[in-house]
Amino acid sequence: MSAVLFVRIRSSLEFEELERRLLERKPGVLEVPGLVQKIFGHDPASGDLCGIYFFDSR
């Protein structure tokens, strides 16, 4: 059975800094066992960020 993980965060960092850090960490994220896809989202109105992770199994 596949699994989905939704994560929502707030940060005091500027969006550009958060984006830089996400791109910097991308190679490590791609190595997470079972991870099929990750989608990143940003709500400019609230500053909230989200990540949706799709795994091939729990």
pLDDT for the residue 4: 97
In this prediction the pTM is 0.79
Domain count, the chain: 1
Q: What is the pLDDT of residues 1-48, one digit of tens each?
A: 899 999 999 988 888 898 899 899 989 988 999 999 999 998 988 888
Q: Could you tell me if 38 and 29 are in contact, meaning their C-beta atoms sit under 8 angstroms apart? A: yes
Range of the domain at 38: 3-55
* Interatomic CA distance for residues 31 and 20, integer angstroms: 19
Give the other-Cβ count within 10 Å of 43's Cβ: 10
pLDDT for the residue 58: 87
